């Protein structure tokens, strides 16, 4: 496991996991590990493939694969949802497309962009942060804002409306 020196959410220095402010916003003050217990899908390992097979894919527009995750209440770690479970978070691993340069930075770039929007420009954004697979690969994690009281609200992005995805 890599050693962190900043909160993987707020990017505040002096933290080796999520800061209290980050936990409050994303996990309702629960101490949740920034590590998932499975390797990233890009490893193509049996463990990763089994997790993906069991994972509930979510139907959100866009090119990048997205997975539904929840906090395991027993052990305070993020895990893929199983059939019949409603996810509270969207997990976006780094894309595996051959035409993306510097794919290892995609999750960090998306997180950093959202932090600039929220912290610098005061734009209200969904709670988001980085988390890491067991092989240290980063993933972007965001809290779902389209689910309230167990019901999903219809959402659409502009790229889909314009026919780009």
Q: Using one digit for the tens of pLDDT, what is the confidence trace for 20-61?
A: 999 999 999 999 999 999 899 888 888 888 777 766 567 666
- With a cut of 80, say whether residue 15 has pLDDT above it: yes
- Residue 135: what pLDDT? 93
Reported as a pLDDT band with limits 50, 70 and 90, residue 106 is very high
- With a cut of 80, say whether residue 142 has pLDDT above it: yes
Give the domain ranges of the chain. 20-150
- Residue 61: what pLDDT? 65
- With a cut of 90, say whether residue 136 has pLDDT above it: yes
The DSSP line for the chain is -PPPSB-TTT--BS-SS--HHHHHHHHTT----SB-SS--GGG--HHHHHHHHHS-B----SSS--EEEEEETTTTEEEE--TTPPPSEEEEEPP--TT-TTGGGHHHHHHHHHHIIIIIT------EEEEE-TTS-EEEEEE-SSEETTEEPP---HHHHTT--
- Residue 83: what pLDDT? 80
What is the rounded average pLDDT of the residues 58-83? 83
- With a cut of 70, say whether residue 5 has pLDDT above it: yes
- Residue 101: what pLDDT? 81
This prediction's pTM: 0.85
- With a cut of 90, say whether residue 104 has pLDDT above it: no
What is the rounded average pLDDT of the residues 127-148? 91
- Residue 122: what pLDDT? 97
- Residue 148: what pLDDT? 66
């Amino acid at each position: 496991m890599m050693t962190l020196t900043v909160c993987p959410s707020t990017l505040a220095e002096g933290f080796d996991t999520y800061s209290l402010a980050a936990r409050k916003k994303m996990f309702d003050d629960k101490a949740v590990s920034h590590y998932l217990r499975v390797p990233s899908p890009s490893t193509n390992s049996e463990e990763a493939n089994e997790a993906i097979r069991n994972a509930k894919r979510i139907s959100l527009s866009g090119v990048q694969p997205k997975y539904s995750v929840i906090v395991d209440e027993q052990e305070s770690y993020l895990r893929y949802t199983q059939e019949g479970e409603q996810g509270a978070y969207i997990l976006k691993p780094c894309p595996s497309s051959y035409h993306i340069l510097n794919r290892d930075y995609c999750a960090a770039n998306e997180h950093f962009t959202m932090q600039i929007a929220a912290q610098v420009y005061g734009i209200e954004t969904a709670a988001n942060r980085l988390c890491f697979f067991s092989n240290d690969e980063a993933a972007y994690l965001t809290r779902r804002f389209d689910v309230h009281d167990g019901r999903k609200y219809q959402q659409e992005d502009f790229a889909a409306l314009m026919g780009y995805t």
